[in-house]
Amino acid sequence: MEKSWVAPDTRHPNKLDRAVIFLGPPGAGKGTQAKELAKKYGVPHLSTGDMLREHVGKGTPLGKAAKPIMERGDLVPDSLVLQMIRERIERPDCSYGFVFDGFPRTVAQAKYLGELLKHHGYKRPFVIHLAIDSSILMRRLTGRRTCKVGGEIYNIYERPPKVEGICDADGGELMQRPDDREEVIGPRLQAYEKQTAPLAAYYGRLGLLHGIDAAKSVEEVGRQVLQSVQGVRGIR
């Protein structure tokens, strides 16, 4: 790998100095929690789903390849996702660490990430498993609405905006993701069970997994996430 890299910044001991990974099925609350955690530590929130949707929106070659795959609820091939992630984490804003949401999603992605982090001098990642019963997920996913401007996440049943269809934070229009329709949710959950769920055991064996009950309220899950992250080596 070439060295277009800014070394992890260790001058600020209370900064998040590593990658945090959110693991869990679609709808578990990865985006909601990852955004908050990244904001708290002032590090980038890296959602591979958001990045891929941006490519689709711009019609880039990657977007054109990913679009039909995402529309049917399958995973985009590792090779495409890994190149995208590598380019992203080699940017200087990642030198204090970063929060992944939706990545890694296969054991091959996790292995590649492990090598990449090691190569760039990072500590081992901290993995938060948002554990949740699948019966809750349909309501979370069909009810999800996202701000077109700032990406704020709402739920029409659980966390509605003050004014229907409008983001509280910036007045942006709320949209429903095309893959949050019932007929695509099924294949997405199947892809999770088959390709992503084994990552819990993978990270468990490495001693990096921290489980959290994701059926609790957003605030309670957030408290537990923070407690768990702060528990590692006294990060504040």
| Catalytic sites, residue numbers | 30, 105, 144, 177, 188
SS (H, E, C) the chain: CCCCCCCCCCCCCCCCCCEEEEECCCCCCHHHHHHHHHHHHCCCEEEHHHHHHHHHHHCCHHHHHHHHHHHCCCCCCHHHHHHHHHHHHCCHHHCCCEEEECCCCCHHHHHHHHHHHHHCCCCCCEEEEEECCHHHHHHHHHCEEEECCCCCEEECCCECCCCCCECCCCCCEEECCHHHCHHHHHHHHHHHHHHHCHHHHHHHHCCCEEEEECCCCHHHHHHHHHHHHHHCCCCC
For position 32 contacting ligand ADP by CB under 6 A, the verdict is yes
Report the 10 Å Cβ neighbour count for 72.
Answer: 12
For position 125 contacting ligand AMP by CB under 6 A, the verdict is no
Residues 121-160: x/- map of binding to ligand ADP (CB under 6 A)? -------------------x--xx--------xxx--xx-
Residues 70-89: x/- map of binding to ligand ADP (CB under 6 A)? --------------------
Compute the least distance from the CB of residue 195 to ligand AMP, in Å: 8
**Nearest 10 degrees: Cα torsion 171, 50, 223, 200:** 160
Cβ closest to ligand AMP, residue 89 vs residue 235 = 89
For position 33 contacting ligand AMP by CB under 6 A, the verdict is no
For position 98 contacting ligand AMP by CB under 6 A, the verdict is no
Cβ closest to ligand ADP, residue 32 vs residue 196 = 32
**Can you tell me which of 48, 146, 155, 224 binds ligand AMP, judged by CB under 6 A?**
48
Compute the least distance from the CB of residue 133 to ligand ADP, in Å: 12
Residue 158 binding result from ligand AMP, ligand ADP, none, given CB thresholds of 5 to 8 Å by partner type: ligand ADP
For position 26 contacting ligand ADP by CB under 6 A, the verdict is yes
**Can you tell me which of 56, 188, 202, 225 binds ligand AMP, judged by CB under 6 A?**
188
Distance CA(155)–CA(37), nearest Å, equals 19
User: Considering CB under 6 A, how many residues would be counted as binding ligand ADP?
Assistant: 21
Residues engaged in binding ligand ADP (CB under 6 A) = 24, 26-32, 101, 140, 143-144, 153-155, 158-159, 216-218, 221
